[in-house]
Amino acid sequence: MTTQAETHTQIAAEVSGLKVNALQDGSGPNIVVLHHSTGSPGWIPFYDHLAENHTVTVLDMPGYGQSERPTWARHPRDIAILLHSAIHKMGIDTDAHLLGLGFGGWVAAELASMHLHGLDSLILVGAAGVQPEDGEIADVIFYEFEEYVKLGFSSDEAYAEVFGDEAAPELKELWDFSREMTARLTWKPWMFNRQLPHLLSEVETPTLLLWGENDRVVPLGVAEVYNASLPNSQIQVLDGLGHLVELESPQAAADAVSSFIAGL
């Protein structure tokens, strides 16, 4: 997989003494993207599709990628508080659609619960953060990090179409580095917050819950809990895809997001 960070605008903000970095491209209403627990791989085709009609800003969350690490942070809500300030300082908090991928979806949901009336929409893509009634969210600690990423696809063949037979060394390094920060933030309980469903009951922001039909990382039951908790949400399932819908089928994922926003 190749990325093209050098062709996009790099922006940054300082929050609580920490530098938060982001990549930005496109024009139109703001889409602010929060990445997976494996970190941001850079600018991917999914973002190009979104940027056709939107200003897309892909943040490196504090502790990930090029953003500085808050050594004191122990919960995704800590990251959400920092990002709330960073998004404001970057000037991307007006006409804003907040899109969270996987673990980034959990952070996005926490942020939405604090920023009740400041978002045009919330888009949670295979988001962790709440406990499903059946099954459980896959624990990255139980997997070698490349195997965990493979689990995010509907099949090993789908993984190979994106990364080849083996991912590049720099991606493996990113995944390993990101896993350490994720473990700090999500250790107990793993990948969910028991309080979050109660807090989300006040979030009237239009919300899309976008899931892959064959998500082996965050079961569809998580979307059902989110849907029951949020007063203005809807579920859309992408046929045949795994957890990493934005990598496995960038056009289909972007079309779903763009159609949702256009229909608001």
Tokens, residue 136: 């459980």
- Residues 129 and 196: beta-carbon distance below 8 Å: yes
What HEC string does 108-124 produce?
A: HHHHHHHCCCCCCEEEE
Q: What is the largest CA-CA distance in the chain?
A: 45
**Average pLDDT rounded to a whole number, residues 195-208:** 97
pLDDT tens, position by position, 111-137: 999 987 889 999 999 999 999 999 999
* pLDDT of 155: 97
Which range, 4-13, 47-56, 174-183, has the best average confidence (pLDDT)?
Answer: 47-56
Confidence of residue 2 (pLDDT cuts 50, 70, 90): very low
pLDDT surpassing 50 at residue 28: yes
Amino acid of residue 100: G
* pLDDT of 205: 97
- Look over the chain and give the mean of its residue pLDDT values, rounded to a whole number: 94
pLDDT surpassing 70 at residue 162: yes
Q: How far is it, in rounded angstroms, from Cα 23 to Cα 4? A: 10
In terms of pLDDT, which residue wins out, 124 or 139? 124
Q: What DSSP element (H or E) covers 34?
A: strand 30-34
- Which residue, among 59, 70, 75, has the nearest Cα to 8 in the 3D structure? 59
- Residues 119 and 96: beta-carbon distance below 8 Å: yes
**Average pLDDT rounded to a whole number, residues 96-106:** 98
* pLDDT of 6: 58
Question: Structurally, what CATH architecture does the domain formed by 5-262 represent?
Answer: 3-Layer(aba) Sandwich (3.40)
When computed from its CA atoms, the radius of gyration of the chain, rounded to whole angstroms, is 16
pLDDT surpassing 90 at residue 215: yes
- How much of the chain, in percent, has pLDDT values that exceed 70? 98
pTM: 0.95
pLDDT surpassing 60 at residue 5: no
Residue written as token pair 């703001």: 30
